[in-house]
Every structure is written in C-alpha cells, then in structure tokens.
Amino acid sequence: MTVRVTCRRPAKGAPPSATLEKTAARLLTLLGVPEAELSLSLIGDGAMRELNLRWRGKDYPTDVLSFPQLDDEELPDALRGNGSGILLGDVVISVDTARRQAKERGLALDEEIDRLLVHGMLHLVGYDHERGPNDARSQRAKENALLKKLRG
C-alpha cells in the first residue's frame, strides 16, 4: 500500500500527513484493497476553483475532487484481489472549504477531512452519487458505514 499526501501550503488545524496516510491506508483495507495506491492532496480554495473549472466546468471551489485512474470497465477486475499494484487515483481536498463545512456541521476539521477523504475514495472505487438518487443513497450509506468503522 502506498499513500502519498501532498499539502500545497500548511493548513492550520489540518491533520498531519502521517495521520492522513494512516487513515487512507485503513480505508483502503476497509474497501478490500489494502495494497492499492492512492494520492491525496490538500489545497486551498484558489487551486480547487481552478481544478473544478478545468475538469468539471464549474467556476467555484468545491470540497473534494476525485480523479480515478481506472474506468468503469477496468474497475471490477482490478478490485477482485487485494489491490496490489493498482493505482486507484487522486483525491484532492480543499482545506478552506473543509474548514467552513466543519464549522457549519459542528465538526472538528479533521473529522470533516476524514468525511471528504471517504467520499473521494468511494468515487475512486466506482461509487457516484451524481448518477441518480439510488446511487446517491448507496454512496451515502457506504460513507456512513466507513466513517463509523474509522471512528469506532
């Protein structure tokens, strides 16, 4: 398992890279692909706005973006084993947006970043809430289950 964490600028209150790596590694195990690889980047709203515009055509920052390396056809075969040698993709989190959302939800920043990490990683393994209400419910249920296991 390889998890690479990159912070473009130090984020006040954000979990340290080692903690994020440990959390991501635990999530890979919970998802059944403990040997898969993942890249995680923490950035600010300015950089996130640029990514969101470039890749989704939306000119505003968002909380998390995922960039899967496997398409829908490759994913089932790739996830059958333990994930050895599989690069799942990249998860990018805006710490600025995460901080605002944490405040709105009454959460600590690290709890909100964990929630966004779970959300982003589920996109890497094929979940997509934007396909419709059933997919949204399925992804939300899986997110809640994973967060409960992380915190339990």
Per residue in 125-142, pLDDT (tens digit) is 888 887 778 878 988 999
Q: What is the pLDDT of residue 2?
A: 66
Structure-block tokens of residue 140: 């939300």
What sign does the dihedral 25-127-64-90 (CA atoms) show?
positive
Q: What is the pLDDT of residue 83?
A: 64
Q: What is the DSSP letter of 145?
A: H
- Give the residue, 82 or 107, on which the prediction is more confident: 107
* 64, pLDDT greater than 70: yes
Provide the whole-model pTM.
0.90
What sign does the dihedral 122-127-129-130 (CA atoms) show?
positive
Residue 1: pLDDT band (50, 70, 90) is low
Q: CA separation (Å) from 75 to 29, 41, 92, 129, 133?
A: 17, 22, 20, 17, 22
Q: What is the pLDDT of residue 9?
A: 58
Of 74, 9, 5, 7, which is closest to residue 38 (Cα–Cα)?
Answer: 5
Residues in the chain, overall count: 152
Q: What is the pLDDT of residue 56?
A: 95
- Please write the tens of the pLDDT for every residue from 84-137: 778 899 999 999 999 999 999 999 999 999 999 999 999 998 888 877 788 789
Task: Please tell me the CATH code under which domain 2-151 is placed.
Answer: 3.40.390.30
